[in-house]
A and B are shown apart, each in its own frame.
Chain A
Amino acid sequence: MMDLAKPQVMDRPTKSVQHAATQEKGVAFVEALDRIMGSARSAYDEVLSSLPVPHRRVERWKYTPVAAWWSEVKAAETATVAAAGCEPNPIPGLDAYRMVFVNGHFDAAASDLPVHPGVVCMPLSQAPPETLQAMDAQQPEHAEWFAALNGKFASEGMYLRVEKNTVLDRPILVHHRCTGEGSVSFLRHDMVIGAHAQVKCVQWSSASEDAMGAVNILTRASIGENTRLSLDKVQDEGGQVKHVAFEDIRQARGSRADVHTVTIRGQWVRNDLTFRIDGEGSHAELNGIFLPLDGEFVDNHTTVDHRVAHCTSSENYKGILYGKSTGVFNGKVFVRPDAQQTNAYQQNANILASDQATMNAKPELEIYADDVKCSHGCTIGQFDNEALFYARSRGVGLEAAKAMLVHAFIGEVLQGLAVPEVRLEVEHRLAEKHQWEIWSDHPDNES
């Protein structure tokens, strides 16, 4: 059996990769947050000082410039959707339980918590401290500086506990709204889902057009045996918002977890997903689409950690990059020595819609078992000129033809979204953002 002494993503990076100037910026940022939030010292202070503040020589942040984060921070003035002037539920026709947060604050009046046998759902600030401590002990955030930052500062979010055999009748929508200038919102969503349960969750992040803040969301989920959790994660943030999101998902035997990440808008977005598969016969599904326009930056980092035998994972990320936008995809698949009979699939396809767009893509497979099937593919290309000419020769306009190809390109990921109303709204908003008309006369939309 092979030795796993080499650095692993789950390990804590050492001080040796710290970069002095960046480290100072990070410390100043933490101090500024301490002042605004009046937070006490916590165990995470030590973690924060031992971790490198991300910079270009930290491999996982090589293509992710964090300088945008070091602007002045201010306490948020707005704490309700009523004051922010936005809908509590941004998804028309969606019948869902709802937790609404504005600039990191829970908006009770705009929320509609699940009242359902076997379900405990409440704002994190009201959750019993011992359950949170248990979660913290089980899934500590010791690997990434921004996640540890969340560990220290997040006092609000969703706490969800679902008892075994519970099938939740409606999805839970978690909507975060970012407004104003300089606010930094921390949310932590802790989910403990019992055996044979089924839960659909939608995380929707929105921002006002003049928002200039930052959002840091950490989602931790512990999924029981034969349990099914799906998370549709949509980022549609106007203004100039920086958004970092971590998902830390632990799967027990026979479970299935799906995370679909759709970035509609976002000035600076980093998604960082980790699936740790601890039980045999499990499946992890992670798909994403991102379509940054000029000046936008979207980074998707994923880690699938196959720790036991007979599990599968499937990953499909698709990007279309316009103008001077930048994208990053880094997909790590880790197959440990005991994870025989693993079947892991990873696909990342990108279209550069402009010759000034940049895509940094890197599949990373580390395989330490010998009886596994791992496949990956990564492409960066342009629009298919033959298909464009064919469509135009039928009288379809160039932009409409491109929209048609884009829709086809991202279609398989859109179809995978767990909640149909989310898919329709995502399509609608993408069409709006990119001024596509073609989807409005999609026959599916007519019934």
Chain B
Amino acid sequence: MLKINELQASIDESKILKGLNLTINPGEVHAIMGPNGSGKSTLASVLAGREDYSVDGGMVHFNGTDLLDMDATERARAGLFLAFQYPVEIPGVSNINFMRAAVNGKREHEGLDPIKGKDFLEMVKEKAKLVELDGRLRNRSVNEGFSGGEKKRNEIFQMAMLEPKLAILDETDSGLDIDALRVVSEGVNAMRSPDRSFLVITHYQRLLDYIVPDFVHVLVDGRIVRSGGKELALELEERGYDWIKEDALA
């Protein structure tokens, strides 16, 4: 599904990723944890194709194609989805028209005609149920005036609409209360399948109680310094990151 080899990336000439390796197979859920500033969100941005970052070395293959060769639109159409840490507000563009343009973009890529209005609305209704997204929010401007929890539910709704092959959740748990965390996690879990993979980026173990990962990786200073199973997250919760940093330096 995704193969990252010695990835190096920087922003404004400061190096953030310093040779990162990661392989994700179909159906797997990987969690990336790490202290502030270790490069977690940079990894998400670079994979999604944010142009503020420059890739200085390494390779990323996504289903056999060179991901770094594609622009953000092409990556999304090829089946990569990024749930934003801070979803963007777009005043004047209704959520529903936004999604329609997105769905039709994907369909165009697949050689399909634009979706019919009726089919689209049915799809919206079905997917919105998954994250209990209010009808009101569907018709409002994208994320405008949404609460933190509503924004994150909207991200998962969009993910459900686009049915990606690989979904990257960038600190989707930040700013969520317990109820919203449960709803969002259930939405994600409902989408788990043998041919869909997830990369879950988080600070806290809490999210991983709900979205149980197959693998946990620890990112320190732009590199993955330790990988393990879901029990690694529990260990981090208990012991913090310092011991791993020390191990990594040693």
Contact = CB atoms under 8 A, between A and B. Distances in A.
A74 interface: no
Interface stretch (B101-109, B127-135, B186-194): B101-109
Interface stretch (A59-67, A266-274, A340-348, A408-416): A408-416
Interface string A397-411: 110110011011101
B162 A395 contact: yes
A103 to B, nearest CB: 39
Interface string B80-108: 01101001111111001111111011100
Interface in A389-442: 389-398, 400-401, 404-405, 407-409, 411-412, 438, 441-442
Interface residues of A, number: 27
Interface string B105-133: 11001000010010010000000000000
Contacts of A386: 88
Interface stretch (B59-67, B69-77, B215-223): B69-77
A446 interface: yes
Contacts of A32: none
A312 to B, nearest CB: 24
B117 A443 contact: yes
Contacts of B158: 394
A438 B50 contact: no
Contacts of A132: none
A189 to B, nearest CB: 33
A158 B109 CA distance: 52
B49 interface: yes
Contact of A391 (B98, B104, B141): B98
A397 B100 contact: no
B48 interface: yes
Contacts of A393: 48-49, 72, 75-76, 81-82, 84
A391 B101 contact: yes
A395 B77 contact: yes
B88 A441 contact: no
B50 A396 contact: no
Contacts of A408: 90-93, 141
A400 B102 CA distance: 10
B88 A387 contact: yes
B24 to A, nearest CB: 18
A442 B82 contact: no
Nearest to A394: B102
Interface in A212-252: none
Given A395-B77, A397-B105, A405-B93, A389 B100 contact: no
B92 A394 contact: no
A400 B96 contact: no
Contacts of A389: 50-51, 72, 88
Contacts of B77: 395
Contacts of A412: 92
B73 A395 contact: yes
Q: Which of B81, B87, B102, B109 neighbours the largest number of chain A CB atoms within 10 Å of its CB?
A: B102
29 contacts: A387-B88, A389-B50, A389-B72, A389-B88, A392-B49, A392-B71, A392-B76, A393-B72, A393-B76, A393-B81, A394-B158, A395-B73, A395-B109, A395-B162, A396-B98, A397-B105, A404-B98, A404-B101, A405-B90, A408-B90, A408-B92, A409-B92, A441-B100, A441-B114, A442-B97, A443-B96, A443-B100, A443-B120, A446-B117
Interface of A: 384, 386-387, 389-398, 400-401, 404-405, 407-409, 411-412, 438, 441-443, 446
- The 10 A-B residue pairs with the shortest CB-CB distance, nearest first, are A408-B92, A395-B76, A394-B102, A392-B72, A395-B105, A390-B88, A392-B73, A446-B117, A395-B77, A408-B93
